[in-house]
């Protein structure tokens, strides 16, 4: 039995599908953990070799060949330290979500995930079969029970490990962010600690992968349920933690406990990481976006600059005949305060050209939303052309409230490659803008105070077409994120006609959302992976008739 154990928690950023590159990152981190921190064990996240989630890459036979090559490289090249690394494993019975313990050229044990999540953004039952039995391995004289992600959310695997003689639970994860998730994880692990009376090392992945952001915030909890070590939010790195044997039991020694930032800061930093990793991992040369002088594009610009640096971001103002002068002034001020290159490209000439081309087709019709959408599509064409020419990704600027009810234009303001604030409700947009301005005014005050407008018609404001945003967001939270019925929402005191209208707009515009770019997920239920509704459906009409 050992009196001490030093573990390095490798809270690192990996690239899905890059098995060779991820293997190299694992080997380099293991060598650093050994040489710089004198660690006896280094722990890596769930499915580290493939990255998470690998989705249908798991169905490609060649992927497992690369995984086996990666495991062989780690087994061959890493000496002087134990390594726990997650990977898929083909074996008799099917494909498993597994983790192996490697030391001195040997795979000492391989543990298989028992509980496969199949809800929200997870669909592991599509790929994996569940494992069985406790996974306990002795490392430097300490008996460690190894579990994988969802296994810590239910009592079984941790209890099995304790009954098999484990003195410490190590749980490796790829747990994506949503608001409040950090505290939720610690509450769940505290339940396991109370059931087993064992300390738990909880290691999480960090980094952006399409819509998902893995926020890190790994931690160590002692056998009393107290967090004695917490790693930083959205920061990759190697972090040592020491354990000592006291009165026969393994106890984690206190270390730095990184504070959880306020919610606005936490969400903002997650959005920044999501943009940075999407742009970097997909090989774009930077980003371009339309800067309107409104609050959504102002927030998106700030996020892009913090993610990529001002030199990698271009802003384009595209005024129309309906654009207020203050909008141009405010957009210019935002770009200059952030040090971003910008240009002004008026859309009047292309707009007029489209109207001329379509004059015969439009003859006899009154001007309506069609002409408004043409303006938005002129801007979309301009921005996509700049994106194509420069290799910079086009960031769209729509928020969750607009996306939910279809207050967007297909092939216009929806045109682009990534949507940073797609899952950010409008009321939260204002709070995040205040966070951006916490030290100096980057977003002009009147941008936060003036009524929001698409400026596609004379005197237009958003509230001409939508309920006030605080009311809209309250209904959307219940209908979209909580899956509450129309009857339940009305019963809470909301105006019945407003609730019906909002629900109709949400369901009616599923076809638009299917054509929208991906964006960072920050709520419990984002459009896309989280919420998969049919485009063609008579469900809502049936419900509305039942309310008549």
Instruction: Select which of 124, 149, 372, 400 is catalytic.
Output: 149
Q: What Cα–Cα distance (Å) separates residue 208 from each residue in 13, 29, 108, 313? A: 8, 20, 32, 19
**Residue 46 appears among annotated catalytic residues:** yes
For residue 271, give every residue at least 6 positions away whose Cβ sits within 8 Å of its Cβ, in sequence order, or none: 303, 420, 421, 424, 432, 520, 522
Distance in angstroms (rounded) separating the CA atoms of residues 272 and 516: 20
Q: Between the CA of residue 181 and those of 215, 419, 425, what are the distances in Å? A: 9, 22, 18
CA torsion sign, 150 to 155 to 158 to 163?
A: negative
Catalytic residue from among 28, 31, 46, 336? 46
| DSSP code of residue 429 | H
Rounded CA-CA distance 349/364 in Å is: 23
Number of H helices, E strands in the chain: 18, 19
Known catalytic residue at 113: yes
Q: Cα–Cα distances in Å, from 260 out to 47, 138, 266, 457, 516?
A: 26, 33, 8, 44, 32
Q: How far apart are CA 267 and CA 420, in angstroms?
A: 11
Q: Which of 31, 36, 69, 113 is catalytic?
A: 113
Alpha carbons 523 and 492: distance in angstroms, whole number: 22
Structure tokens at 414: 């929806």
Among all residues, which ones are annotated catalytic?
Answer: 46, 113, 149
């Amino acid at each position: 039995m050992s009196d001490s154990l030093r573990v390095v928690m490798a809270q690192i950023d990996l690239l899905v599908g890059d098995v060779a590159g991820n293997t190299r990152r694992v080997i380099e981190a293991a060598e650093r953990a050994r040489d710089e921190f004198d660690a006896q064990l280094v722990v890596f996240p769930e499915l580290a070799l493939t990255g998470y989630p690998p989705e249908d890459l798991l169905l490609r036979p060649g992927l497992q060949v690369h995984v086996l090559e990666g495991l062989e490289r780690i087994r061959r090249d890493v000496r002087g330290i134990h390594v726990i690394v997650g990977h898929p494993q083909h074996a008799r019975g099917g494909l498993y979500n597994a983790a192996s313990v490697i030391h001195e050229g040997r795979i000492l044990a391989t543990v298989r995930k028992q509980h496969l999540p199949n809800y929200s953004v997870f669909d592991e039952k599509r790929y994996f079969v569940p494992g069985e039995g406790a996974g306990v391995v002795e490392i430097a004289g300490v008996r460690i029970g190894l579990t994988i992600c969802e296994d810590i959310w239910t009592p079984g695997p941790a209890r099995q490990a304790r009954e098999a003689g484990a003195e410490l639970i190590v749980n490796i994860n790829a747990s994506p962010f949503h608001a409040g998730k950090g505290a939720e994880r610690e509450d769940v692990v505290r339940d396991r600690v109370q059931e087993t009376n064992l300390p738990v090392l909880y290691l999480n992945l960090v980094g952006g992968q399409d819509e998902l952001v893995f926020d890190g915030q790994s931690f160590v909890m002692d056998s009393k349920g107290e967090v004695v070590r917490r790693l930083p939010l959205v920061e990759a790195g190697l972090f040592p933690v020491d354990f000592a044997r006291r009165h026969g039991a393994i106890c984690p020694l206190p270390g730095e406990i990184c504070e959880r930032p306020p919610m606005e800061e936490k969400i903002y930093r997650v959005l920044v990481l999501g943009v940075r990793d999407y742009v970097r991992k997909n090989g774009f040369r930077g980003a371009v976006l339309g800067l309107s002088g409104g609050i959504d594009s102002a927030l998106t610009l700030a996020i892009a600059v913090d993610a990529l640096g001002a030199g990698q971001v271009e802003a384009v103002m595209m005024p129309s005949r309906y654009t207020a002068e203050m909008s141009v002034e405010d957009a210019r001020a935002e770009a200059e305060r952030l040090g971003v290159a910008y240009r002004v490209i008026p859309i009047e000439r292309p707009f007029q050209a489209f109207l001329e081309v379509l004059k015969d087709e439009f003859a006899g019709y009154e001007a309506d939303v069609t002409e408004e959408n043409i303006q938005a599509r002129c801007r979309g064409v301009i921005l996509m052309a700049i994106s194509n020419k420069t290799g910079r990704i086009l960031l769209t600027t729509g928020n969750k409230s607009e996306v939910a009810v279809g207050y967007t234009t297909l092939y216009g303001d929806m045109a682009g490659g990534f949507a940073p604030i797609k899952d950010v409700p409008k009321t939260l947009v204002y709070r995040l803008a205040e966070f951006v301005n916490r030290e100096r005014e980057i977003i002009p005050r009147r941008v936060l105070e003036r009524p929001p407008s698409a400026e596609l018609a004379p005197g237009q404001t958003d509230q001409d077409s939508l309920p006030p945003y605080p009311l809209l967001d309250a209904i959307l939270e219940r209908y979209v994120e909580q899956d509450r019925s129309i009857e339940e929402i009305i019963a809470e005191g909301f105006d019945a006609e407003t609730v019906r209208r909002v629900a109709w707009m949400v369901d009616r515009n599923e076809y638009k959302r299917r054509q929208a770019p991906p964006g960072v997920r920050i709520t419990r239920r984002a459009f896309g992976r989280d919420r998969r509704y049919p485009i063609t459906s008579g469900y809502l009409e049936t419900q509305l008739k039942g309310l008549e």
